[in-house]
Structure formats: C-alpha cells, structure tokens
Structure 1
Amino acid sequence: MASSISSVYNTTLRLTGLSSGIDTESIIKQLMQIEQMKVDKVKQEKQLLEWKKEDYRSITNLLRSFKDEYFDILKPETNMRSQSAYAKYDETSSDPDVATAIGGAGVISTSHTLTVSEIAEAAKAESSAAVSGGANGTISLNDTLETVSAKLTAGSITFGGANNDELTLTINGVTITAKKNETLNTLINRVNSSNAGVKMSYSPFLDKFTINAKETGLSGNNITVTDNGSGFVSATRLNLVDNKLTGGKDASFTLDGKTSTSKSNTFTIDGVTYTLKGKTGASTTITLEQDTDGIYNLIKGFVDKYNEIISTINNEYNEKRNRDYPPLTDAQKEEMTENDIKLWEEKAKAGMLYRDSILGNITNDMRRAMYDSIYTTSGDSNTKLSYNLASIGITTGSYQDMGKLIIDENKLKEAIKNSPEQVIQLFTQESDVAYSPDLTAVQRKERYEENGIIYRLYDIIENNIRTTRDSSGKKGILLEKAGIAGDLTDTNNLMNTAIAEKDSLIDTLLVKLQEKEERYYQKFAAMEEALSRMNSQSAWISQQMG
C-alpha cells in the first residue's frame, strides 16, 4: 500500500523556491524526518517480532529433532519409550547352521541348549511333471489363459462363468476368477494378493506350477484347492491329495531339556527369539550376553541431546538484548556495506527471548521431570520407586551447569548390567492414564507421578510442539505462539498476528506521512504564490512612481 501512495505523490509537479529563493526541498525533508522516525520505529518493532518468531521456531525445531530421534515408534532402535530399545545383546551360536537367537527386553544373560529334530515346512502342491512343450510351444507368464490352455499337454481348461469365458478357482474358501483373455501373470497375482493364504507361481524354466501355503506348519495341510470343474488342477498336474496341499510340518525341538513344537521356524520363548536354520538332528548352544556398552551408548546419546537442548534454551533465556544495536533502518543500510550490516544484525538479534516465560517453563519442566519422585504403577500409587537417576549414575552438575546431566560411566554400566529391569522401568514406565491435552488437573498429576523419565519428557515436548488440537482448538504452546513450516500454524499464530498489526500501522503512518508532506508543499507553494504577487505589485508600484 505504501508504495502505491508514494507513486501517486511523487508524480506531483513541485516547483518551489522560485520567488523566495528558499531551499524548500531541504526544509521539507528536515521537517519530515520526525515523521519518518515514527515509521522507522514501527518497522524496527516489526523486525524484532520477526526475529523473535525465528528464535521460537529454532526452539521448536530443536525439540522436534529430539522427539524424532528418541521418541519415534518408527525407530525401534532408539525409541526410548519402548523397552525393546534397551534389549541389546551379543548373541552367539555354537552352530549357526542349526539356529540363531535374539534377546528381548528384560532377558537375563544366559546360555541355552537347543536340539532341532524337525524344521517347519509349508504345505504345497506342485506339478508332477512338465505341463507344456508340445506342438503349441511352452508357456509364458504373459500368455492369455486361453493360450495357456492350448499349450497344456495333460488336457485343456474349460472356461465357464456367465459368458463362458472365465476360469474360477476356490482356494482355502476364497474364490479367484480371471477371464480367458487375461494373462497367466494376472491370475497368479490375484491368487497371491487374495486372502487365500497361499502363493502361486509358475517356472518357465522347470515348466511347472507350484502352490505354497504362506505360513509353515501342519495347519497348511488343511488348505483345499478346487478348480470348479474347469480341469485346471489335472491339466497343470498339481499333486493335490483329496484337493488339499500336503507336506506341511511343525518344527520340533528340545530347548534346555524340554521338547516342544512350533508352526514357524522363528519363535519366542521367555523373551528370546530363536530362528531355526535348517540343520536337523543337531544341537547348538545359544549364548546371550547383555550388550552393556550398546545400552550405555543409547542412554549417553540421549543425555547428550538432552544437555544440548537445555544448554541452547538456557542460552536463549539468559542472553540479554543489546539495546545499543537496534534494527537498522533502510536509510542506515544504504550507508553500510553488506558485511557491516551482517555484523550489526548479529548483535541486534541477540536476546530476543531473554527471560521468556515459555522457555523458562520448558527448562523448569524438563529439569523437574528428571528428579521428581516416580511412583509405581503396580497398584499402590503412594509407593515411590526405590531408585532414581542418581542411583544409576546420572546426576546434575553445579549451579552454573543450569540443569545439565553428568554421567558416571562405571556406575551406569554397573546398573545396566546388574539391574536392567530397574533401569528400563525408570526410563520407560508409563501411567495407565493416557496422554491427552484435555486431562483434568487430577489426571495430569497422576500421569506425571506414575510416568518414567522418558514419558514425562515426551509429554512436555507434546505440550509445546503438538500438531493436534485440544478441545479448545489449540495446538502446542510453541506452535500457537510462532507456528512452524508445514503446518497451518505457519501462517496462523500469535507472532504473525502481531506482525500483521505492525504492517497495518506502517501503512497508516505512511499515508499520514505522505499527506503531511503534501500539506508542507502546499503551504510553501501558497507562500511562494503570495510572494510572487507581492513582487508583482511592488514592481507595478515602482513603475508607476517612476
């Protein structure tokens, strides 16, 4: 708006000082300086708001990075809300051709003896011999079913359906159809993507069809395949028995002296997941040793990131604004080099969030979350856990460290090795009261007290950068304040509202500035006109008297 106003007034023809000899332009420019200062002041206020918004967003991004790295369920290796993140083991098998294993959360370091008698197998049916290769040639996956039928040597397919042009198969109670002008590959894909629980294939090299149960085990022997009278089964030489797949077997094994079975070759017993590899009639010794260093490094990485966040927010909170370096005006920038502007603005941007209440609340909440008592969720809400961060070797430093954590490596590793369940509970315990921004005060208190450290921090982060809305339509505190890219709050936030108000005020002041400047020119023009008349009259009088 301001630019359009300027363009209108700048087109006005101003011829001043002709009669008085006064430098009108210079005088008006000096008179307008006070008005321009009013505009510049609001522009500076707007710039401060924009810098403040940027600083808020930098804190939001810092918290988002923390959340993405240590609270994301899609990253099980580092998702510290999950007990599985703490299940790190060094597993060895004396004969990996027999079986291997992976330790789960809470497993105690130990050894197991596993003897494999039988490997689980999937039930199947396959062509007993090549199915084509006669005068009509061999089958291709891209052949239509009608062409496939003509190439089968053990008989042809009879197409039925309403238009007499469909092949219908019923597998495990699921009906699959394909038209005779559709390809063999289309039929196979429909079978495999259905809920029939089987996988069909055709090998052009072997010239054979195969149907396998998708899951291993005896239960696969109950899968039936019928061709509804089309002759598909006999023509493809599938070796079904009473229309059923055959050969499905459960795995049979003996673990630490106890014999058992499993429909799968991968199974979990007492937190240890075993995978049978195929070698039968042999034994292996599975040794599980807790990867203390791996768990320590996970916790250390988390603590380092936490310290980085605390340090960054504290620096922003405690950095005072240098009022000797206000935002530069347009006129000031015109007289400076780019490097000088950059250096000036580095100082001018400092202290935008000095003693900011949002930042203060975040750091206070995070520090409290680390050392407030945690209550058990086992039924007695008045019972505190008998251990805390300090008891596993994580403490706060001096007052000057402003809440940063310090790790005693030996003590933490000892806790991980000797009290793994306590370490896991301290970090991952979650209250039965689920997180919601609309919890009552009583519910919030109960959830906070029963949450372990990780869920407390998770709640704090969610409260500040949550993208979902509460019952009042509000998102996280930082997003409501300054927004974030990629979200509706990018444009709809309190800082943008304040900036828009400054823009509106700037437009209003520019209009007044232009109007006042025009009035000055009009007054000087009137003065010049009056002087011109006086000069003309004086000249006339002089002429008459002469």
Structure 2
Amino acid sequence: MSISFTGLASGFNSADYIKAIMNKEKLPLTRLQTKKEITTAYQNVFKSINTKLTTLKDASIALSDLGSFQLSKASSSDTTKLNAVAESTAVAGDYSVVVNTLAQKQVVASKSFNATDIYSASSPDAFPSSLSIGGVSVDISGLSLDGKKMSEVLNAIATKINGTVGIRAQASVIQTSSGQNALVLTAKEYGRANQFTFDSSSTWGFANKQAADDASLVINGIAVTSTTNTVKDAIPGVTLTLANTGSSTVKVEQDVDGIASKVDTFVKAYNDIINTIKDNTQKSTKNKDGSLTLTLQGDPMLRSLRSQMGDMVNKIVGDTPGFKLLSDIGLEVDKGITSASLMTGNITFDKTKFKEKMQENPARVEKMFSGTAGIDGIATLFKNSAKEWTDSVDGIITSKIKGYDSEISFLTEQIQSMSDRLDLREASLKQKYVNLEVVMSKLNSQKDWITNQASILTKSLSQK
C-alpha cells in the first residue's frame, strides 16, 4: 500500500483538485448507473407480475379443466366407530355402516420368566437351540446366553427373531407383572391370512393371546370383509378407517367448501395482479431527498393487461338467468362502491352466496368457469389469456422482460467502459501532479543551494 502526501513541494493540494475534476467527469457515469437501477426496478415489476400471472393461470386451470368441480367429501355420523375420506370419484349418497368385527393381528406370548433369574444352558428347562415361527427356524444356539439374567436372555432372543429374514412376526419383551417378563410375538400384518404357526413346546410356553381376524361390516345390507381396518371402495371412491364396532352413517356429497376454496384462490390471485398494477402506475411524487418516485403510469402494456382483465371479469360467462355474470354467483368487482375515486377493481367473493348457488345448480356454476358451447367460462378465459402473457418463449410479458435484459446488458457494458476510461483519466492526473511535485522539489533544492551560496558570498565580501 503506497502513501502519497500531496503538495509537499508545490504547496498545491492536488488530491482535492483531482477529486473535484473526477466528480464532474463522473456525472455521465452516475446518470448511466441511475438509469440501470431504474431499468432494473421496472424489470422487477414485470417479473413480479409475470409470477403473479402464472399463479392466476394455475388457479384458472384448477377451475376450468375436466373434473375441476368433481370434489367430494365424506363424513361419518360417529367418528368413534369409523372415519371416511372421499376421492373425486365418490358416489354421492347416504350409507348405513355396521362394523361387526375389527381386523386383528395375531398375538402370541411365552410364559412369564423371573427377570433376575440366571439362565443355565445345561438346565432341563433350557431353551432348545432353535425356535420355529411360521415355518421359519430361528437359530439361537450361538447367542451365548449361559449365565445371563433372564431379562437379557429374552431381549437377545427377541433381537435374533427380528433380525431373521422371512419371519412374519415382530418380537418384543414385555413386563407381565413386577419382576416377570414374557416374550411376545405380534403378526406384522392384520387379518387371518397373516396368522402364523409357532413352537408351543413346554419350555417356551407359547400360547395364542389374540387370534388373527378380518374386519367384517355391513354396508347398506351388503356384507363386506377386509384383512385390514382400512376399507377402500366398499363405498365407491371412499376409504373407511374402522375404529370400533357399532353402527354409523356415512354421507358422501359434493365438497362445496373445497370448490369455494379454489375460487377464493383464483380471486386472490386476480386481486394481487390488479393491486400490483395499481401500485406501480400511481402518479409520481417527490421523495424526501427531492427525487421523484418511480412509476410506470404511462406504460401501455400494463394498461392493456389491466383493461383486459377488467373486461373478462365483467363478461357474460353463462347462458341461464341467474347464472350469467360472476356477480350472480357471488363474485363482484368493487361491490358496494359508487365513487370512482374509491374503486380498486378488486373482486369481492361472497362465499355464502356462492355456496347457495352451488346447492341450487352446481352444473350451471361449473359451466360458468369451464364454459359451454359457444361461451368460454371465466376460468378458461383467464387460463388462455395468462398463457399468452406468460409463455416462456414468446409471452407478452416474457418479451418485455427480455427487452429489459438487453437494455441492462447494454448499460452494464457502457458503465464498465466509462469506468475504465475514468480510472485511466484519474491515474493520469495523479501521475501528472506527482511529476510536478518531483520537478518542484528539484527546483526548490536548486533555489536553496543558490540562496545558500549567495549567503556565503555576501558574508565573505563583508569580512574584507
């Protein structure tokens, strides 16, 4: 790092002088940098709108494509007996369900052993070298159990069983009473088909504690069995999860709340774009530092987008009285606002009215979103329009963003080129004044020598 002291020889503060010159010559560079910042800010607005339009497109697809309104829900009159979940293919109706038995896993337990007893492999009651579970032999001869406490022995055997490939049961050790442990085998799957055989020798004392069983139930008078407590499609398109025996009623109906949630997502996406356009096209105002706020007030593309969106939400999208305009089903622009200055262009979504219309005629409501012969539904209109604006190759906004990319790239090159020239200019000025100081230093040295010689000569003459 070099240190420069300006004006040592000349007395001239060249550093401040050079700084003043460079500040003036950097004005065009500052203007370019400001222009790049503004251009980037405008581009970010369009990037944001592009993202929001994509969100609106997705919300429109969710309301316009085939099956978009085919949402169903199922409910149980007694969730202590069973729960029900419906898919889109579920058939609406009321279903009487009587659960007679639940599916069970087979459970087998050994006799209880004193946990602190010491195991002896030579004892007449010692375990055999292998155990058969479901036809699979578990070799325990190499476990080195002799001399260990029975709690350790049982845990070692359980670990060996669980590590044996092909075993259809899971082993565990439980405490049956204070100081007493037993080895328990539980089938890995529910149902009679998954029951297993076991070694019932007197040493182990294994016995069935819970038999494997299938679930049995009656749905609208029809007997149904299942190897698990999850029963699928016994009611078409519905999955039942059995929890207890007893009776309940399963009601399957169109999921109006789920459909309303889709519409709400669409409305929020629409309003988000309208508000973003409004926020970025306000009249420019002064900041505290005197500069003007950025605005795209006169941008024709944003005006066109705003106008197109407004036209579409006010379009006739149905062919039946009471089901023609969005306002007929609870979607209204600037609801209750009569003053132009207060209008925002936002949609207000009346969910209560929408649900009422869905109950009245769900097919008509669906067609208002997806469309009928000769009339595009509102969701179809927005889906197609959003694709035109956001297409990744030649979308309207995509092209605008690419144009900004080119402009920013050009400005970046200009800024770099000008910065390089200014750096050279500043270095040249600094070198010029360094050279000046060198020359001045030499002249000052010569001046001092001449002054000194003159002083000596004067003194010598005065002594004669």
State the 1:126 CA deviation. Answer: 0.6
Q: Distance in 1 between matches of 2:122 and 2:219?
A: 51
State the 1:237 CA deviation. Answer: 3.7
Give the aligned partner of residue 126 of structure 1. 108
Give the aligned partner of residue 199 of structure 1. 170
Are the equivalent residues in 1 in contact too, given 2:129–2:140 (CA < 8 A)? no
Give 5+ residue unaligned stretches, structure 2: 145-154, 318-322, 335-339, 452-464
Q: Distance in 1 between matches of 2:22 and 2:284?
A: 30
State the 1:255 CA deviation. Answer: 1.5
1:302 paired with 2:265, answer yes
SS in 2 for 1:254: strand
Q: Distance in 1 between matches of 2:14 and 2:98?
A: 106
Q: Distance in 1 between matches of 2:140 and 2:36?
A: 68
1:11 paired with 2:4, answer yes
Match for 1:40 among 30, 39, 59? 30
Give the aligned partner of residue 273 of structure 1. 239
State the 1:200 CA deviation. Answer: 3.1
State the 1:219 CA deviation. Answer: 2.0
Mapping 1:159-174, distance limit 5 Å: none
Give 5+ residue unaligned stretches, structure 1: 1-6, 74-79, 138-146, 160-167, 226-230, 326-339, 375-386, 430-448, 471-475, 483-492, 540-546
Mapping 1:324-363, distance limit 5 Å: 347-348=292-293, 350-351=294-295, 355=299
Q: Distance in 2 between matches of 1:203 and 1:119?
A: 24
1:158 paired with 2:129, answer yes
Give the aligned partner of residue 504 of structure 1. 416
State the 1:314 CA deviation. Answer: 1.4
Indicate how the Cα distance of structure 1 residues 151 and 372 shifts in structure 2: closer, same or farther if over 3 A, else same.
farther
Give 1:119's aligned amino acid. Answer: L
Q: Distance in 1 between matches of 2:414 and 2:34?
A: 10
Q: Distance in 1 between matches of 2:174 and 2:381?
A: 53
Q: Distance in 2 between matches of 1:184 and 1:361?
A: 77
Are the equivalent residues in 1 in contact too, given 2:85–2:240 (CA < 8 A)? yes
State the 1:511 CA deviation. Answer: 1.0
Give 2:102's aligned amino acid. Answer: I
Are the equivalent residues in 2 in contact too, given 1:51–1:352 (CA < 8 A)? no
Q: TM-score, length-normalised on structure 2?
A: 0.60
Mapping 1:126-525, distance limit 5 Å: 126-130=108-112, 132-133=113-114, 136-137=117-118, 155-158=126-129, 180=143, 183-184=156-157, 186-187=159-160, 190=163, 198-205=169-176, 207-221=181-195, 223=196, 236-239=204-207, 247-267=211-231, 268=233, 269-279=235-245, 282-287=246-251, 292=256, 294-295=257-258, 298-299=261-262, 301-315=264-278, 318-319=281-282, 347-348=292-293, 350-351=294-295, 355=299, 390=326, 393=329, 397=333, 404-409=346-351, 411-420=353-362, 456=383, 501=413, 504-505=416-417, 507-518=419-430, 521=433
Are the equivalent residues in 2 in contact too, given 1:251–1:264 (CA < 8 A)? yes
Indicate how the Cα distance of structure 1 residues 134 and 215 shifts in structure 2: closer, same or farther if over 3 A, else same.
closer
Q: Say which is worse superposed, 249-258 or 46-55, in terms of deviation.
A: 46-55
Q: Distance in 2 between matches of 1:62 and 1:233?
A: 72
Give the aligned partner of residue 436 of structure 1. none
State the 1:254 CA deviation. Answer: 1.9
Are the equivalent residues in 1 in contact too, given 2:330–2:354 (CA < 8 A)? yes
Q: Distance in 2 between matches of 1:157 and 1:367?
A: 84
Q: Distance in 2 between matches of 1:152 and 1:30?
A: 105
Q: Percent identity?
A: 17
Indicate how the Cα distance of structure 1 residues 179 and 41 shifts in structure 2: closer, same or farther if over 3 A, else same.
farther
Q: Say which is worse superposed, 173-182 or 409-418, in terms of deviation.
A: 173-182
Indicate how the Cα distance of structure 1 residues 270 and 236 shifts in structure 2: closer, same or farther if over 3 A, else same.
same
Q: Distance in 1 between matches of 2:123 and 2:55?
A: 61
Mapping 1:15-164, distance limit 5 Å: 15=8, 30-48=20-38, 51-52=41-42, 55=45, 86-88=71-73, 91-93=75-77, 96-105=79-88, 107=90, 110-122=93-105, 124-130=106-112, 132-133=113-114, 136-137=117-118, 155-158=126-129
State the 1:298 CA deviation. Answer: 1.7
Q: Distance in 1 between matches of 2:345 and 2:139?
A: 65
Q: Distance in 2 between matches of 1:391 and 1:32?
A: 64
Give 1:180's aligned amino acid. Answer: L
Q: Distance in 2 between matches of 1:178 and 1:353?
A: 87
Are the equivalent residues in 1 in contact too, given 2:369–2:380 (CA < 8 A)? yes
Q: How many residues align?
A: 410
Q: Distance in 1 between matches of 2:327 and 2:107?
A: 61
State the 1:517 CA deviation. Answer: 2.9
SS in 2 for 1:313: helix
Larger RCO, structures 1/2 (Cα 8 Å, 6+ apart) = 2
Give the aligned partner of residue 486 of structure 1. none
More strand by share: 2
Deviations 1:158-201 (A, max 9, x none): 27xxxxxxxx977688999997379456446546xx78664333
State the 1:508 CA deviation. Answer: 0.8
Deviations 1:29-73 (A, max 9, x none): 5544431213322332344356456656766886899899x89x9
Q: Distance in 2 between matches of 1:498 and 1:428?
A: 45
Q: Distance in 1 between matches of 2:211 and 2:274?
A: 64
Indicate how the Cα distance of structure 1 residues 28 and 270 shifts in structure 2: closer, same or farther if over 3 A, else same.
closer
SS in 2 for 1:105: coil
State the 1:203 CA deviation. Answer: 1.2
> Larger radius of gyration, structure 1 or 2?
2
Indicate how the Cα distance of structure 1 residues 481 and 155 shifts in structure 2: closer, same or farther if over 3 A, else same.
farther
Q: Distance in 1 between matches of 2:138 and 2:52?
A: 54
Q: Distance in 2 between matches of 1:261 and 1:211?
A: 25
